[in-house]
Structures are given as C-alpha cells and as structure tokens.
Amino acid sequence: MSGTPWTEHLILAPVLLPLLAGAALILVNEARHGLKFSINLGCNLLLLAAALALFWRADQELWPGTMGVYLAANWMAPFGIALVADRLAALMLVLTAVLSLAVLIFSWQGWSRIGVHFHSLFLFLLMGINGAFLTHDLFNLFVFFEVMLAASYGLVLHGYNVTRIRASLQYIAINLVASLLFLIGIALIYASTGTLNMADLGPRVAALAPADLPLLQTGALILALAFLTKGAMWPLGFWLPTTYAAASPPVAAMLVLMTKVGIYAIIRIWPLAFGAGPLAGFALEGLFWGGLATLLFGSVGMLASQEAGRMAGYGAIISSGTLMAIVGANQPALLTVGFYYLLGSTLATAAFLLLAGLIERIRTPGSALLALTMEAFAIEEKPEEPVGVGIPAALAFLGLAFAGCALVITGLPPLSGFVAKFSLFHTLLDSSAEVTRETWLFMGLILASGLTGVIALMRFGVRTFWASGNLQAPSLQHSEALPISFLLSLCIAMTLFASPLLAFLERTSEDLARPGTYVEQVLSSPVRPGPAGGPP
Amino acid sequence: MEAVIAIAIGVLFGSGVWLILRPRTFQIITGLMLMSYAVNLFIFMMGRVWIDKAPLTLKPGIPSLGEYADPLSQALVLTAIVIGFATTALYLVIMIGARGLTGTDHVDGKEPEA
C-alpha cells in the first residue's frame, strides 16, 4: 500500500488495535494482573486518540465529501468490504472509547480479577462494537455483531455464579435466535437486490421491479427484528433487565452501549436503503409505535423494580424506546435531538450501573423487598432515635452521584437529560407540520416515563440513603469513584456546551439525510495502484 | 425442486422453533442446531436453485456469468456455519455449567413445582 497516507489506515485502527491487544493478552499469565491491565489501558487510550482523530477529520471535512472510505484489501466498493468513517460513526467511536475507558478503570479494583480473560474479552467486545459502527457491508456487520455478542456472552458470565449462569442461558439463547433472523434477513436482501453493500443497496432498491419488492420488504423486516431484539423493543426486550441485573457492574455498563448498536444499525441502513423511491420511509411508522410501546413497558417496569440493576435496565429500555420513536418519526431535525439524547442517556445509564454495584455494598439484603412491601401495605416505619453521626465522604459521594444519574435519566433540570427533553419537545412542536395526535401521545409518554422514573428512583434513594438504622459507610476506592464522576461530569459538560454539540449533531443528521453522498463517495472511492505502479 | 427444498427448510426450522420453546436445555440446543441448519440451507438457496453449473473460474473467454453458480452465497454460508458452530459450542459449555451448578437441566435453573 505505498502512497497511502497513514491517516487513511487510521480508519482501521479502532478494529485492529483491540484485536491485536486482546489476542496478545491471552498469552499473558493471569497472575500478572498489573501488566494485563496496563496493556488494556494503553490500548483504550490509543483507541480514544484514534476515535478523536477520526472525529476531528470527519468534522473538519478533511476527507472529500465528509467521510473517509477504507477499502479493505483494496477491492472496489460494491465487491469488497468498505469501512466508512463519517460523522455519526466517529461520534459513536468516541462514545465507545470514553465509556470503555471509564469502565476499565472501574474494573481495576476487583471485577477484572475475579475471573479469567476479562481483558481479552473486553477488548474483543470493543472490536466488535467499533467494527459494527464502521462497516458499510451487511454481512460484515453480521460478523462484527457476532464478535461483539460472543465476547459479551463471556463477559456476562464473568464472575461465574448461579444468577449469572441462569441469566446468560436466556441471554445467549435469545441472541442466537436473533442472529439466525439476522442471517435470514441478509439472505433475503441479497436474493432480491443482489448486493450487501449498504451504499449499493439504495440505487438497486429504487430500481427494483415491483414483483421483487415483497421479498425485499420481508428481508428488511426480519433484519430489523434482529436489530430490535438487541435494542430491546417491546416485546423483544424481556431479556434485558434480567441480564443487566445479573451481570457484573462493569459488564452491564458496556451492555448499555450494545443496545445502542442495534438502533445505530437501523439509523445507518434505513436512510441508505429506503431513503427515496417507492419504499421511502418503509416501516418507520411501525418503529414509531414500537418505540411508544417500549416506552410504556419501560416506565411500568421501572415502577415495579426493586433493585438498582433492574432499574437501570428499565432505564435503558426507556431510552431505547424514546430513540426508536424518534427514528420512526422520520424527521432530520428530530434525529439531531435523538443523538444528543443517546449520548446523555448512555453515559448516565452506564454511570448508574457502575454506581449500582457500589450501592449494593451499603444496602442490607432484603431491605429492597421490605421497602416495596411497606409502601404497598402502607406500613408506617417507626422513626428511630436520630444518630449523631456526620455523613462520611464516601456516602456523600454515592448520594450525590445517585442524584446526578437520576437527574439525567429522568430528564430533570439542570443536566443534559433536561436539555434533550426540552429540545425534543421544542422540535416536535416547532415543526411546520400540524401537531398530530401521535405527537401528543409521544410527548405524554415521555413525560410519564420521566415521572415514573422520578418516583422509582426517589423511592430507591430515600430507602437507601435516608434509611434509618445503622448505615455503614462503604469502603470506596478512588479508581471506583473516579469513573463515575468522569461520566457524570461529561453529562455536565454536555449541558454546558450544548450549543456547539447540537450544531455538530445537526451536521451529522444532515449527512444522513443525504444518502446520495454516501452512494457516490463509497462507490467511486478509488482503488490504490499496486506497488509496482501496475494494475492493482 | 424448489418446493422440496422449501418444505425441507420449513420442516427443519419449524421443528427447531418447537424445540427451543421446550423447557430443557438439551431440547433448546437441539432446536438451535436444527434452526441453524435450516438457515444455512436457506442462505445457500438464496443464490438460486441450480443444477450442473460449474464454479466461477478465471479463464479467458467466459461466455456469461449466468453459466456459473453464485459464489457469494457459498462464501456467506461458510462464514455462517463457522460462526453458528462456535456460538453453539459456547452455549453447550454454559449449559453444562448450569447443569453442574443448579443440579437441573431446566432453563429456569430449578424444577417446576408439580
């Protein structure tokens, strides 16, 4: 590959780096924990640097046409596999890198040592997620999904106990079936259009004979079913709360990102395949209603859950439902807000799941069940004598971090959740079209989900932090407090710099609204000449 | 020909679906394997049902690509087989682990109350 600047190969770095580091880490003895951790940390820092570089290049339009195209093995676009780094992909890469860095530091204290090969599996998970964000080929997307899922199966089991095994039996079975659906969808799309390259899909779909359309529609719907199982749309998302609650906190925090990969795939594929032509906006209305049902399911589940892990799981379902409804509403302006919401809710839910692991330390077992029973039967708790103990710093930190997470998840002012909700309502009401009944329903459900979130989290917080009795100050390490503060301070930064961020996200959704650019860029991406200057 | 293959795939997939809805882990893994066989056949057949067509070869003077079998669906099915095999093997390991830890092969980890 002579004559190719190194910046072109940068697109491959987010996939290649974790693969190499993860494979190398298998060879390192488990006992050398410090070495393993430092290699993983170094790799994560490099990933963050690569993601930021890609982000910068994509946003500064240093590549022709706002996106970098990498032709793997130098094959021309519809025939080989193309990796594409545009604004959206780069943004998701940065989010992944930031989140994985925080989770990795959190796991330093104990979680990464309670089982074998945590670091390798973690890096393979990153490879799968990054690959899924970058690839522009449907079958390659399937392969990266499988890499991501295989690593996540190992990670969910990490720290082997009965609860985790039971949860992962269901988690794996469901995901294996979803993968089979994925394959059926791909096969049908290939049979009807003859291509699996996403950019090539659009023109071919538009030129399809009406007789072939049902086959393509069936394929696309089955494919969407596979994505939405990962994204936990009602009624496909029953696996999620159980899995989140059972997995160890760092793993659960990474799983939050995985639910977003399914929705990302829809955001990526749908405008390219069904952006224009006879099938424009195909099935998006179904996605909208599915999103509303998911919102409702998440809100009710939130109210019913007793432990922090399950609450965070339902929080993730609510955020998935909101995103699905936003994507289903099919307006570029709404998508801008959707991206902002995605960033904030992912960071906050992940922080909350990390926090849940710490909160478990101060909660006495059974108190959660007691709290719900007491409310259900209106049993007054006898106030005990106040104990004159000052709040230890660790407890204060937990309380404050909990409040921060709750503010973002429920969308109360002043953090990023509120900005997201406010701009969402603003966009919904501001659009030139008449405000329909569906829009009102959507807004009502979002408000209701916020309310149930507030009720559930308040109940949990009051019972946990203000509980009378002997509340033991937990032992808290810096490496555990730091990642949570980091994630929450990112949410604060998102609030402070909302205007430039939203401007960037607007450019992102404008890119997506112009699928023609993708088609042109990817398909016309030049093949590099061979080393001798001859034909490639 | 098409009808025979379609029925075969349908029967395989249908039996698989029935089996994964059963409560024992062994039934589930058998069901998953049947379903993945069905899906592999399905991908293969999406390259169209052809008999007596040569694989695509790089010789000068290829009259028309229609004379050759579709190589892409064969490549896809190979990858799908490998990945499906690996994940099923992984599931088997967890199944054995669950059997050892819970003492039952029920998917809920406990026997239903009679």
pLDDT tens digits, one per residue of A3-34: 567 777 888 999 999 999 999 998 988 888 88
Q: What is the pLDDT of residue A149?
A: 92
Please give the mean pLDDT across all residues of chain A: 84
In a domain, B39, yes or no: yes
In a domain, B111, yes or no: no
Q: What is the pLDDT of residue A472?
A: 65
In a domain, B18, yes or no: yes
- Confidence band for A385, pLDDT divided at 50, 70 and 90: very low
* Number of domains, chain B: 1
Chain B, 69-88: which have a CB under 8 Å from a chain A CB? 72-73, 76, 79-80, 83-84, 86-88
- Confidence band for A195, pLDDT divided at 50, 70 and 90: confident
How close B35 comes to chain A (CA, Å)? 8
Q: What is the pLDDT of residue A51?
A: 93
Tell me how far apart the alpha carbons of residues A287 and A193 are, in angstroms, rounded to a whole number: 23
In the numeric block, which tokens belong to residue A5?
């600047």
In a domain, B72, yes or no: yes
Would you say residue A384 has pLDDT above 90? no
- Site of tokens 């939050």: A256
In a domain, B110, yes or no: no
Residue in B43, B86, B109 nearest the CB of A166: B109
In a domain, B45, yes or no: yes
In a domain, B112, yes or no: no
Q: What is the pLDDT of residue A295?
A: 92
Considering only residues A390 and A145, tell me which one the structure prediction assigns the higher pLDDT.
Answer: A145
Per-residue DSSP letters for chain B?
A: -HHHHHHHHHHHHHHHHHHHTSSBHHHHHHHHHHHHHHHHHHHHHTT---SS-BPP---S----GGGB--HHHHHHHHHHHHHHHHHHHHHHHHHHHHHHHHSS-BTTSSPPP-
Average pLDDT over residues A38-44: 92
Q: What is the pLDDT of residue A78?
A: 81
Q: What is the pLDDT of residue A299?
A: 92
Interface test with B, best of A79, A137, A183 (most B CBs within 10 A): A183
Q: Do A176 and B88 touch (CB under 8 A)?
A: yes
Considering only residues A309 and A365, tell me which one the structure prediction assigns the higher pLDDT.
Answer: A309
Would you say residue A525 has pLDDT above 60? yes
Pairing of strands A82-85, A68-71: antiparallel
Give yes or no for a contact between A416 and A344, defined as CB atoms under 8 angstroms apart.
yes
Q: What is the pLDDT of residues A369-383, one digit of tens each?
A: 555 555 555 555 544
Which domain covers residue B23, as residue numbers?
2-51+67-102
Q: Does any CB of chain A come closer than 8 Å to the CB of residue B9?
A: no
Considering only residues A217 and A373, tell me which one the structure prediction assigns the higher pLDDT.
Answer: A217
Closest residue by Cα to residue A62 from A71, A53, A74: A53
Interface test with A, best of B29, B83, B111 (most A CBs within 10 A): B83
Residue A514 C-alpha from the chain's centroid: 24
In a domain, B57, yes or no: no
What is the domain-level CATH number for residue B42? 1.10.287
Residue in B43, B86, B94 nearest the CB of A187: B43
Would you say residue B64 has pLDDT above 80? no
